[in-house]
């Protein structure tokens, strides 16, 4: 809160969200986009009709999550695979649940929601716990890879990797 929050926010704007950093994220997005197009073409071929016949909205959702995570963490989660690991499937479901529970919660004061222990509030909190757990695993992985020099600072690192390499914020502050 206060000045500490403001100063870290300004640093984040400069170090992670500045427009001149966007070209560094293009290779990350491009890789996910190419995989998505390959997957769409394979699905169309398998359908026998030459077009996509499955639930396209779910595939787009997984594409969006994979893209965002690749830009944030500089690593792929594997959400565009035919088989998604159970832990990552829980992450996908948690993000979906968070979106679905947010709208109803916007209409009630947070203090009232916490006191009422309503089902929607509990689902929302559980979803965020899962999302933050996944984020923490990614943060630890990126941090470990950089410290052990399994990744070069010259390769596209994503927002998190860039923040770690620049070493202008404590890891706990980045995590927050």
Report field, pTM of the whole predicted structure over 0.85:
no
d(C-alpha 16, C-alpha 92), whole Å: 25
Stronger pLDDT, 8 or 154, i.e. the higher one:
8
Q: What are the residue ranges spanned by the domains of the chain?
A: 2-175
Cβ atoms 70, 29 nearer than 8 A = yes
pLDDT score at 117: 66
Q: Report the pLDDT averaged over residues 131-140.
A: 92
Q: Domain spanning 2-175: which superfamily? A: Cytochrome P450 (1.10.630.10)
Q: What's the N-to-C CA distance of the chain in angstroms?
A: 12
């Amino acid at each position: 809160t206060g000045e500490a929050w403001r100063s870290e926010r300004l640093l984040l704007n400069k170090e992670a969200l500045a427009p001149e950093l966007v070209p560094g994220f293009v290779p990350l997005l491009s890789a996910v986009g190419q995989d998505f197009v390959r997957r769409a073409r394979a699905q169309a071929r398998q359908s026998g009709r030459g077009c996509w016949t499955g639930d396209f909205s779910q595939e787009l959702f997984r594409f969006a999550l994979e893209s965002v995570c690749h830009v944030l963490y500089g690593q792929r989660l594997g959400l565009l695979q035919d088989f998604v690991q159970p832990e990552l499937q829980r992450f996908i479901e948690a993000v979906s649940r968070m979106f679905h529970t947010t709208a109803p919660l916007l209409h009630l004061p947070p203090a009232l929601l916490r006191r009422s222990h309503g089902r929607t509030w509990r689902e929302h909190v559980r979803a965020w716990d899962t999302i933050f757990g996944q984020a923490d695993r990614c943060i630890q992985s990126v941090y470990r890879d950089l410290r052990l020099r399994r990744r070069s600072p010259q390769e596209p690192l994503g927002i998190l990797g860039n923040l770690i390499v620049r070493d202008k914020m404590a890891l706990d502050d980045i995590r927050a």
